[in-house]
Amino acid sequence: MYFKLGNQVAWFTLAFTLLIGLEAHAESTADKTPVITAQPSNCVTLHQGRACFAKVVINWQVDQPGNYCILAKHNGQTLHCWRNLKESQWIFEFQSAEKVEYQLVAADSKQILAETEITVSWVHKATPRKRRWRLF
């Protein structure tokens, strides 16, 4: 059974479309939480315990422009800083035999905004015994 409502359907459709559009706009303009990512997030080396080498890109984004730095979590060393930005990237040569965690901090307050990590994995596990070759 179908009822023709005329202008009421058109106004309802228009109002519903506007409501959905306003909700989507509110979500897109809402404050975004700070984000930091590392690519690749996993570095693979041949043998366990050996250093892994990779070119890593760290991307970060916050909602307000400001002064921000990337720190190495294990020693608190400042690795790179930016002034008056709300997003950027940093490309560097990664070298480590174990997992390294990075923090995005507000340079003025030293408040930690976000964290990311690069894990290190290996193809062959280290063996505790040494192989000695003998002929006799």
The CA radius of gyration of the chain, in Å to the nearest whole number, is 26
Q: How many CA atoms lie within 13 A of 50 on its CB side?
A: 13
Secondary structure (3-state) at 85: strand
Mean pLDDT throughout 122-133? 78
The verdict on residue 65 lying in a domain is: yes
In the block, which residue shows the tokens 């990664």?
94
Q: What is the CATH number of the domain that holds 73?
A: 2.60.40.2470
The verdict on residue 17 lying in a domain is: no
The verdict on residue 129 lying in a domain is: no
Please give the Cα distance from 59 to 78 (Å, whole number): 16
Mean pLDDT throughout 86-106? 96
Please give the Cα distance from 106 to 38 (Å, whole number): 18
Please give the Cα distance from 69 to 15 (Å, whole number): 46
Whether 52 shows a pLDDT value over 80: the answer reads yes
The verdict on residue 15 lying in a domain is: no
- State the burial class of residue 119 (Cβ atoms within 10 Å of its Cβ: 0-12, 13-18, 19+): middle
The torsion angles phi and psi of 67, rounded to 5 degrees, stand at: -100, 120
Q: How many domains does the chain have?
A: 1
Please give the Cα distance from 108 to 118 (Å, whole number): 26
What domain range is 44 assigned to?
35-124
Q: What is the mean pLDDT of the chain?
A: 82
Task: Grade residue 136 by pLDDT with cuts at 50, 70 and 90.
Answer: low
Least confident of 20-29, 79-88, 94-103: 20-29
Give the per-residue pLDDT at 15.
Answer: 45
Whether 82 shows a pLDDT value over 60: the answer reads yes
The verdict on residue 27 lying in a domain is: no
Give the per-residue pLDDT at 78.
Answer: 94
Looking at per-residue confidence, does 130 or 11 come out higher? 130
What's the token pair of residue 91? 């490309």
Q: What is the pLDDT of residues 12-23, one digit of tens each?
A: 444 444 444 444
Mean pLDDT throughout 22-47? 75
pTM of this prediction?
0.69
